[in-house]
Amino acid sequence: MAPIFLPSDELILLSQEALESYWEISGFPSPESQCAQHVNRLHEILGCNFSSGRWRRVIERERLQQSNLKATLRAYSLHVAASYEQQYPRVYPLELGECKAWEELRSWLEQSARNILRRRFGLLEIPLQFEADECAQCACEIIFQTRFPYDVAFDAWARYILLNAIRRRYRQPEVRYCELLTDIFAPNSDVDMQTSDGEGWEIPDPYQPAETWELRELLLDVISRLPTEAQREVIRLSYFSGLEDACIAERMGKSAQAIHNLRNRAHDNLRRVLENRLDLLR
């Protein structure tokens, strides 16, 4: 992702144009007394997002690419301005450190952590409460230390941080994590993007709805219950990595027919797991 370093006066102009465009489109301009404050705040956000390089991933994901760089930067700035105006009332109290806002966020994160831990790790009662509390606290600390980029939904962003906190607490060979969301977008990030055997791993996507992550976690939980690692690997490579049988066979050192048989056995076992654990689908 390519970082961009724009002069301050150009960033301010870009911020002002983006906010004015959003106010005109939405029909809800900010009070004049707050216009300068919002322009300066957006100027800081855009400067950080451009210099970190994360803007490039967002324009690709949101299909904001225009005919030239200047138009693309304007499109991204309008996207951030719209998100800022819509999410500012939710995020600003957290930035001010208001206790009520942080208590509500922590309560929501704790409930989310309880759901994930109960389903994925089978924790109940006292262990579940303790672990959910620890994970929610860890996520809150990271959120407090990290600047919200205002180019994604806040709830999805916060849930993403929580998932990484849980993965960090429960390290497993097949689950990788990053310490901070900003590590992923840092231009000189030293985050290890390879597994121990040299395979790349997929970062959970903060641009997807939280429900998509929940479904992915559910699928991973069910797959982890397959009786052999070979079956688990075939399912992951087939459906998560999208590889053909010939490629999987070469990677696993087996024949294409063996891969076909493994997948069929895995399907049968997955069907039995789901039939015996219908509660996972509720």
What's at 46, amino acid-wise?
L
* 39 and 46 Cβ atoms separated by less than 8 Å: no
What's at 188, amino acid-wise?
N
pLDDT at 93: 94
User: Could you tell me which of 222, 220, 211 has the C-alpha nearest to residue 280?
Assistant: 222
Q: Span 73-92, mean pLDDT?
A: 91
* 270 and 248 Cβ atoms separated by less than 8 Å: no
What's at 61, amino acid-wise?
R
Backbone angles phi, psi at 62, to 5 degrees: -90, 0
CA dist 189 and 53 (Å) reads 11
Alpha-carbon distances of 184 from 23, 111, 188, 263, rounded to whole Å:
32, 26, 10, 33
86-138 pLDDT tens trace: 898 999 999 999 999 999 999 999 998 988 887 766 666 667 888 889 999 99
Secondary structure letter of residue 175 according to DSSP? B
Tokens of 217: 């976690």
Backbone angles phi, psi at 214, to 5 degrees: -60, -45
User: Could you tell me which of 142, 77, 75 has the C-alpha nearest to residue 105?
Assistant: 142
13-57 pLDDT tens trace: 999 899 988 888 887 766 676 788 888 999 999 999 898 888 888
245-281 pLDDT tens trace: 999 999 899 999 999 999 999 999 888 877 765 544 4
* 37 and 97 Cβ atoms separated by less than 8 Å: no
- Tell me the whole-structure pTM to 2 decimals: 0.58
* Helical spans, DSSP H, in the chain: 8-26, 32-52, 54-61, 69-95, 99-121, 125-145, 154-169, 181-185, 210-223, 229-235, 245-252, 256-276
Secondary structure letter of residue 30 according to DSSP? P
pLDDT at 257: 92
Tokens of 130: 């303790």
User: What is the band of 217 on the pLDDT scale with cuts at 50, 70, 90?
Assistant: low
pLDDT at 127: 74
Q: At residue 171, does pLDDT exceed 70?
A: no
Rounded to the nearest 5 degrees, what angle is found at the Cα of 28, between the Cα atoms of 23 and 29?
Answer: 55
Mean pLDDT of the chain: 78
How many other β-carbons are positioned within 10 Å of the β-carbon of residue 253? Answer: 7
Q: Span 211-226, mean pLDDT?
A: 68
Alpha-carbon distances of 77 from 54, 106, 200, 221, 261, rounded to whole Å:
13, 30, 31, 39, 51
pLDDT at 66: 84
User: What is the band of 189 on the pLDDT scale with cuts at 50, 70, 90?
Assistant: very low
Q: At residue 163, does pLDDT exceed 60?
A: yes
Among residues of the chain, what percentage have pLDDT more than 90? 29
CA dist 75 and 196 (Å) reads 39
Q: At residue 216, does pLDDT exceed 70?
A: no
pLDDT at 60: 80
